[in-house]
Structure 1
Amino acid sequence: MTVNVWGTSVLAAVAAISEHTKRGDLDDGLIFDAVRVRLIEIGEAVGALGPELLEYEPDVPWADVRGMRNHLAHRYFDTAHSVVRATLVNDLLPLLAAVERLLRRVASE
C-alpha cells in the first residue's frame, strides 16, 4: 500500500467516523458498528506501512492502533463502548494530525 493510499484511507475513515457520530451516539448499535468498522480500517491501514515511516511520529502508539484493530475485528462481542468512546475522544484527533504530518513529509521528499 502506498503512503498516499494509506493516508487517504485513514483520512476517509476519520471523516466517516465524524459523520457517523453526528447521526447519533455510540449507544446506538448501528452507529457503534459503523465506527468500529472504520477503526478497523484505520488499524488495517497502519499495519500495511513499514515501521521506518511510522518512526517519524514516535508519540503515536502505532502498535496499539494495530492492536485495537485486531481486538475490534476478532473480539467484537468483547468490546466495551467506553473503550471506543475514549478512543474517539482522546486519540482520533492526535492520530489524524500525525497522519497529516506524515503525508506532508512524504509529499515534500
Structure 2
Amino acid sequence: MKRTPQESLAEAIAHLDAMHRHLARGAIDDETVADAVSLRLAATIETLHRGAPDLTTGLFGDEWSVIWGMRNRIAHGYAWIDIETVRATVDEDLPSVEATLRSLLQQIRDTAREP
C-alpha cells in the first residue's frame, strides 16, 4: 500500500524527533550516540525516498542527490563513516531540511482541516 505524503512526512519527523532525543543523551562523539544519530538520519532519508519520491525532488531539487548520497554512505559504508560529516550534516544542513519538512506537514494538515 502506497503511503501518503502526510504519512511519509510524519514518519520522517518521528525519526528526527528520535534523533534529537539521542543527541540530548550525549555528544555525537559518543559512539553509541553517533550510531543512533546515523541510523535515524538514514531512516529519515529512506522514509522520504520510499514514501514520497516526487515530494523529495520537489522540495530539495538537485540537493536531493546529495541527501540521498548521505543515506548511502551510512547504509553501505557504515564502518567507515566520518563522524565529522555526520556532525556537520546534523549541525549545518539538517535544521533547514527539518524546518521544511515540519512546515510542509503542517500545511498538509491545515489544508485537510479546511472545509
TM-score (norm 2): 0.81
Q: Specify which of 89, 92, 96 is matched with residue 91 of structure 2.
A: 89
User: Which residue identity is paired with 1:87?
Assistant: T
For 2:48, the equivalent position in structure 1 comes to 46
Compute the RMSD of aligned alpha carbons: 1.9
Q: Distance in 1 between matches of 2:32 and 2:62?
A: 28
**Structure 1 unmatched runs, 5+:** none
Larger C-alpha radius of gyration, 1 or 2?
A: 2
The AA in structure 2 aligned to 1:75 is: G
Identity of aligned residues (%): 30
Higher helix share: 2
Task: Look up the match of 1:73.
Answer: 75
Is 1:21 matched up with 2:23? Answer: yes
Give the 3-state SS of the residue equivalent to 2:59 in structure 1. Answer: coil
Q: What secondary structure does 1:25 align onto? A: coil
Residues 85-105 of structure 1, C-alpha deviations (whole Å, 9 max, x = no match): 001101111111111232244
What is the aligned residue count?
Answer: 108
For residues 62 and 98 of structure 1, what CA distance do their matches in structure 2 show? 13
Q: In 2 relative to 1, CA 103–60 (structure 1 residues): closer, same or farther, beyond 3 Å? A: farther
- Moved segments of 4+, more than 3 Å: 104-107
Length-normalised TM-score, structure 1: 0.85
Over 3 Å counting, the alpha-carbon distance change for 1:58 and 1:40 in structure 2 is: closer
